[in-house]
Structure 1
């Protein structure tokens, strides 16, 4: 592995262990086994390196999310939603550092346009897949699929924050399905 890859791996490790705001160039050098000059040579700055590492972390988060989402297509839509939420909660418990880093990445998007564009693009690409998981065909109902996919993204984001901040009181998938059911008209 060359210095560039070592720096990326070290920066990603620091993101998970220390977070974006608390990571220094020296932390990255210590984690990567490289030197300070390598950061400037390969990335131009610590911030550019951390942005590249955050993009890799977001890709890893997306891959983890994709593996997490195995939903029984024979279930009714609200049961699928329950399953998705429960699987996300389980993944947060297993990969807390990754999920925590993903939340911190979102806070950096105002200062990192490239990162914002990549995340927005990933969200847009994910909406149809989330809708399909819940039984909405993106091909035949693109508007509905976008709305349902957006709802799932919103639930995942909110659920993530709740599980990271207060896991004892974070809602279960069953509670979220009950909440959605309560908002529907009788028989809806």
Structure 2
């Protein structure tokens, strides 16, 4: 590898070990086995180097997660079984990819001061939503992009929420089975018919009275 590739590899190692804000130019140069001047020559600034290294690391993470989720639960699997199998693989990946999840949450607080990061994350978020809709619902994003973005947004919100819980306390974060059971409960509640005026609700309580 040349100095540029060495610097990117060294920056990625530092990001995984130290995080974004704690990584210095000297850290990267030492990890890459290059001089400090090489950073300025190839990237102009340490921030530009870290941003490119982060983009590469996130792309690699996305590819790894995509490969894991692409493993089908079986041709006869129900949507519920596919959902649970996918979440088992996602949760297994948290331990391997913990530093990248931590960096993403670290950078959210800095996006107002780093518009280039906001733009990069927005682009990555859009692609992630389309990919998640394709994985979980077998929906071709090109066929119905609006539906794919909406469905993918739901799964992305779930993914980020579970990741946050896992980073804080892995032992108490929901399992794939618990997520499946809870989603079934919520879907069942949405499917319940709302009691009409005077009719008892599902718990036996009277329904709302009509205005007279």
Q: TM-score, structure 1 length as denominator? A: 0.88
Structure 1 residue 156: deviation in Å?
A: 1.3
Q: Deviations over 1:114-138 (max 9, x none)?
A: 3322332222223233223223534
Name structure 2 gaps, 5 residues minimum: 192-212
Structure 1 residue 168: deviation in Å?
A: 0.5
Name structure 1 gaps, 5 residues minimum: none
Q: For residues 119 and 59 of structure 2, what CA distance do their matches in structure 1 show? A: 13
Out of 57-66 and 100-109, give the one that drifted further: 100-109
Q: Is the 8 A contact 1:129 1:149 kept in 2?
A: yes
Give the aligned partner of residue 116 of structure 1. Answer: 118
Give the aligned partner of residue 161 of structure 1. Answer: 164
Q: For residues 123 and 58 of structure 1, what CA distance do their matches in structure 2 show? A: 11
Give the aligned partner of residue 180 of structure 1. Answer: 183
Q: Is the 8 A contact 2:61 2:97 kept in 1?
A: no
Alpha carbons of 1:21 and 1:187: their partners in 2 closer, same or farther (altered >3 Å)?
closer
Q: Deviations over 1:76-117 (max 9, x none)?
A: 223222222221110112333343334434444333333322
Give SS of 2:181's match. Answer: helix
Structure 1 residue 34: deviation in Å?
A: 0.5
Superposition RMSD in Å: 2.2
Aligned pair count reads 188
Give the aligned partner of residue 81 of structure 1. Answer: 83
| Greater relative contact order (CA < 8 Å, ≥ 6 in sequence) | 1
Q: For residues 113 and 53 of structure 2, what CA distance do their matches in structure 1 show? A: 15
Q: Is the 8 A contact 1:68 1:87 kept in 2?
A: yes
